[in-house]
Structure 1
Amino acid sequence: MFLSVLQVLLIPAVSWVLWRILRPYVVRSSLDDIPGPPADSLIYGNFKQLFDRHGWSFHDNMEDLYGPIVKIRGMFQKPALYVFDPKALHHIVLTDQNIWERPSFMIASTRLMFGTGLLGVLDRMPGDVHRKQRKMLNPVFSIGHMRSMTPIFYNTAHRLRDAISAHSDAQGKEIDILNWMGRTALELIGQGGLGYSFDPLVTTTHNSYGDSLKALLPTLARCTGFRMFSHHGSKLGPPSLRRFLISLIPNRDIQQLREIVDTMDRQSSNILSGKRSALRAGDEAVKQQVGEGKDIMSILLRANMATSGDDRLSEDELLGQMSTLVFAATDTTSNALARTLNLLAERQDAQDKLRAEILAAGQGEDIPYDQLVDLPYLDAVCRETLRLHSPVSFTAREARRDIVLPFSTPVRATDGTLLNEIVVPKDTLLMIGVRACNRSKALWGEDALEWKPERWLSPDGIPSSVKNAGIPGVYSNLMTFLGGGNSCIGFKFSQLEMKVILAALLSSFKFTLSDKEICWNLADVAYPTVGPISRTPSMPLNVEPVEKAAFI
């Protein structure tokens, strides 16, 4: 009896797996006309190459070997696309953005981790929740609000500068700059985003929320398989049941991820409760809080309290925004800052030029917002770093129905014919090649792979091929912050962070390379380690005080 029941259960399951494996070989897809690399796995297709932490060459070979429209193989050999053609990207992130949505597995895994925040909802969900949330958040990322937050950023930057000075005096001139940038980015989004201090920026500190956040991405990277199939589990009953089922999975990484999410949820609830109490107590109580009520969540709470009807955010949505904001604003900015300092350590001429500009502008004082954001060489250094080394190398979309995808230039099909467009079947997974578009020699010229801030300093520095391409990025003809309704809502926040921290550090310190090998790893957010074997994020640099008079 038991065997017969087992057979009844196994036969459909085995049949489904076999069909998933055999289907690409017996059912022709329109994507089969597009050239691409051979899959290295029957089950994983090209995914192991795509997500390999040392897989930079696989991504770089896309343009060199196949061009800006590439067919890759997903799970069980299912055809997918890797795209960095500007016209195609324009349709994906702008013209047809409601058809090219974030994949189901991304939405499901994000909701499991952060709840119904901005990254865990879609426009087509009941109540138009994504549009509603962006509408509520947009004002707090305006230029006017960034200007008012600049003193908060400088206050944190001064504490960082003092901490680095004390640390280098006590323990020698080599410091792990990635650690300090991570702590600083967390404190900046804590104060500016939540009105909460995570880190006093002393030599050692522990905060359960901060510690959990720092562990999140490394743990997440070890749970890729769980994320890929999480959308199936998201349909199983209420959240309490799903959480119970996850607790039964005998996998250490998944259980660590569950503990991280639980900690972040508890802390978010406590912070939100405290902010509500302060708002009820009146303006004086709000001013006593970190950020003095100028932080994003305080403003969002006030706006939400003044809103009624369907536009009002629920408790779950407010909590979701908190975890989402902190997650999205920490590793991306900190690792971009670490990369910038790494590049400046390699290029002392660029570091000296930037330091001279900062010192001349500040004259020993904090540089006001309007002057800081317009410093030409500082802006060029930030733009060029984010062009050549985007923290996020690629992201995914999924077609909600059959759709025609046009190309900027014809693609030579596998049979030799030229294609100007292709019909993409419903449910096709597509990877947006952020890094590939930013580094395309066809767009940026033969020096596309060189770090050259100077290219941003003259009208002729950016090729006409870039200006005329129609790249749909929200920032500087780059895909770094994406574009359209799913562009990074906090990119101005991130830019201000980078410029304030660089201005504070370079006015006081000189950075040089240590004797340790730095290896940058491909991940959801690229991160450095000492050597290619270590999995511990770290980037040591030498730091020493500078003689400011020599630069003014």
Structure 2
Amino acid sequence: MKWLQEYGAVFRIGGCFAQDVLMLSDPKALKYVLHTSGYQFPKSPDIVHLFGALIGSGLAVAEGTVHQRQRRILNPAFSASQLRQSLPLFQSFISKLINKLKREIGNDNAGRVIDVIPWTRKVALDIVGITAFRYHFNALDDGASELREALHNVFIESHASPSCLELLYIALWRTGVPKLALKILDLIPTRGQARPLRFKNCSYRIASEILQKQLEVVENGMDTADKDIVNLLARSYFAEDLDKQMSVDEIYSQLATFTVAGHETTAITVAWILYELSLHPFIQNQIREEISQRREHCRGDLSADDYDSLSLLNAVIKETLRLHPFISTSIRVASQDSIVPLSEPITTSDDSVVWNIPVLKGQTLMLSYYTYNRLPSVWGDDADKWNPERFLHPTGIKETNLGMYANLVMEMQVLVAELLSTFEF
């Protein structure tokens, strides 16, 4: 943030091995790199290597036409109708979480402090396991699960406090060093390699078992046309059209991808939401009242439309995602010469005023969502403050949230609503 205040939304920094890195948080520049330009700015090789070692060649790592194909195959799993079908499962698991927390607190444990994050992780993991792959992690019951054990603390144990040599090795992936030489270095049993590899191998083995069961269902004509992820993957295995196929490695990678992304994003964001609400008890009580009023107008559990109508709750979710984004930066590399447009002019080192930046092929760009989400020019003078009211004023345009984002938001809606209906934070 200090650099943002001093240099603005666009500036250059030096990287390892005298690398030139272009830092961007300008809204028009981000839109161009991430959307308008298509796939001209793929993920940096070091990022692909790090994530590939953990989750394989799934949706989070794929680029270009491969990414388009995978996304097209999986999109039906995130349609509005499919999300609504998943809602009862969300509610069932979260109800189980509520009962677990009640027993944990007990009647004679007044004042006891309970860390919510492990519990939000458990429920999110159980939800993604069943809704996506029909796999039981048994996290809420603390049951045995080889995959859950392999996933536990994998990021902290593999990448927390890396040594200087490990940092330099990762930086080498952005240079012109032959990939074959770097892959040979991968054979060295470092901490950064061992833990991700253990999880990847475990997830691939379990994915193989899950896929085999579903393939038998499809082969025996018992396919119910379900559009959950595991069924879509099984269909892609049998597809004759190349545009509708996934390789076995790609299929296995999706299990690892959605397991990691699907539970960590929800768990950490909900933890931030509860943290902010504990600092703003008035807003917490307002949400509780909003939920109570909505329950008076419905029979039984809240519907997807009911959750969407909770304007303050949804504003709190959006504001928390803005101020505390799960992913704060993204590193991209220009695959060809390009001109990146800017929303505001900048003054270069030679005092020229420009509205765009020429980018040469091979240029590394670091996209900062963290600083973009704090730009006063976009969010106002209170951009560095948590203020859900900024999302309460309708723009006249109906929002349409589809894809995995909508899935995560619905899960957060149910989780936060039910927690606030039962507990105070």
TM-score for both structures, normalised by structure 2: 0.89
Aligned-partner residue type, residue 94 of structure 1: H
- What residue is the counterpart of 1:261 in the other structure? 200
* Shift of residue 91, structure 1, vs aligned partner: 1.5
Q: Which is further off, 157-166 or 413-422? A: 413-422
Q: Any idea what SS the aligned residue of 1:510 has?
A: coil
Which residue number corresponds to residue 149 of structure 2? 211
Q: Whole-Å Cα distance in 2 between the matches of residues 406 and 214 of structure 1? A: 42
What is the deviation of 1:267? 2.1
For 1:259, give the aligned amino acid: R
Larger radius of gyration: 1
User: Which digits, 9 at most, give the CA deviation of each residue in 1:428-475, with x for residues without a partner?
Assistant: 111111111111112211111111112212248x9xxxx9xxxxxxx8
Residue matched to 1:138: 75
1:413 is the counterpart of 2:357: no
One-letter amino acid matched to 1:157: I
- Any idea what SS the aligned residue of 1:101 has? coil
Amino acid at match of 2:253: G
CA 1:177 to 1:282, structure 2 compared with 1: closer, same or farther past 3 Å?
A: farther
Picking from 11, 17, 21, the partner of 1:70 is 11
1:246–1:154 Cα change, 3 Å:
same
Structure 1 unaligned blocks of 5 or more: 1-59, 468-474, 482-487, 512-552
Question: In the alignment, is the contact (CA less than 8 A) between 2:56 and 2:253 conserved in 1?
Answer: yes
Q: Are 2:269 and 1:336 aligned?
A: yes
C-alpha deviation, 1:389, in angstroms: 1.2
How many residues align? The count is 414
Q: Give CA-to-partner distance per residue, 1:239-295, whole Å, 9 cap, x none.
A: xx95x8644x14234223322322222222222223333444554xx89xxxx9663
Q: CA deviation at 1:401?
A: 1.8
Tell me, what secondary structure is at the counterpart of 1:431?
Answer: strand
Query: Structure 2: any 5+ residue segments left out of the alignment?
Result: none
For residues 309 and 79 of structure 1, what CA distance do their matches in structure 2 show? 39
In the aligned structure 2, how far is the partner of 1:495 from the partner of 1:383? 9
For residues 234-253 of structure 1, the aligned pairs below 5 Å read: 235-236=179-180, 246-247=186-187, 249-253=188-192
Q: Which amino acid aligns with 1:330?
A: H
Q: Do the aligned partners of 1:189 and 1:326 also contact (CA within 8 Å) in 2?
A: yes
Task: Note if 1:391 corresponds to 2:326.
Answer: yes
Higher relative contact order (CA 8 A, sep 6+): 2
Match of 2:410 in 1: 496
Distance 1:236 1:136, change over 3 A: same
Which of these residues, 217, 234, 241, is aligned with residue 308 of structure 1?
Answer: 241
Moved more, 387-396 or 409-418: 409-418
Tell me the residue number matched to 2:35: 94
CA contact (8 A) 2:13 2:22 kept: yes
Match of 2:424 in 1: 510
CA contact (8 A) 2:158 2:195 kept: no
Q: Which secondary structure does the structure 2 equivalent of 1:198 belong to?
A: coil
Q: CA 1:119/1:302 → structure 2, altered by over 3 Å: closer, same or farther? A: same
Q: RMSD of the TM alignment (CA)?
A: 2.8
* Structure 1 residue 95, shift from structure 2 partner: 2.0
Distance 1:210 1:153 in 2: 19
The amino acid across from 1:350 in the alignment is I
Amino acid at match of 2:136: S
> Is the 8 Å Cα contact of residues 159 and 192 (structure 2) preserved in structure 1?
no
Q: Is the 8 A contact 2:97 2:123 kept in 1?
A: yes
Query: Which residue is 2:210 aligned to?
Result: 271
- Change in Cα spacing, 1:62 to 1:197, as seen in structure 2 (3 Å) is same
Name the SS for the 2:319 alignment partner: helix
How far off is 1:227 after superposition? 4.0
Distance in 1, matches of 2:173 and 2:138, equals 33
Say which is worse superposed, 256-265 or 402-411, in terms of deviation: 256-265
